Amino acid sequence: KQEVTQIPAALSVPEGENLVLNCSFTDSAIYNLQWFRQDPGKGLTSLLLIQSSQREQTSGRLNASLDKSSGRSTLYIAASQPGDSATYLCAVRNSGYSTLTFGKGTMLLVSP
């Protein structure tokens, strides 16, 4: 059964820092991996989707990489801002299934 782990569970940084969030998964047979952002009491907003054949995706200050063979993905946030404060979730789409397995998230706090 697929397991997704996110490290660290929480992260606090001053504004302007570049930071990396990590996601690892146990079964490398995946279709894709998606990064989400969740604000307190709110739904999930999709940030980036990486297909299994891709190595990375970029959107603005965000860059996500995928190393499928080693079961790892990273989300890089450049020049962090207080508005980036949220919980970041990664989720993998498992091959052969239509299920999505989520990590428990990294809670990010960016201080002014």
- Contact between 76 and another protein (CB under 8 A)? no
Measured from the Cβ of residue 69, the count of other Cβ atoms closer than 10 Å reads 7
* CA 36 – CA 98 distance, rounded (Å): 18
The single residue among 21, 77, 86, 105 that binds another protein, judged by CB under 8 A, is: 105
Q: Residue 38 and residue 44: Cα distance in Å, rounded?
A: 5
CB 97 to another protein: min, Å: 9
Site for another protein in 20-39 (CB under 8 A): 31-32, 34, 36
Please state the closest distance from residue 36 (CB atom) to another protein, in A: 8
Return the DSSP state at 42. S
CA-CA distance, 105 to 21, in Å (whole number)? 9
Binding status of residue 89 toward another protein by CB under 8 A = yes
Q: Kindly list the residues in this chain that would bind another protein in the complex (CB under 8 A).
A: 31-32, 34, 36, 41-46, 49, 51, 89, 91, 93, 98-105
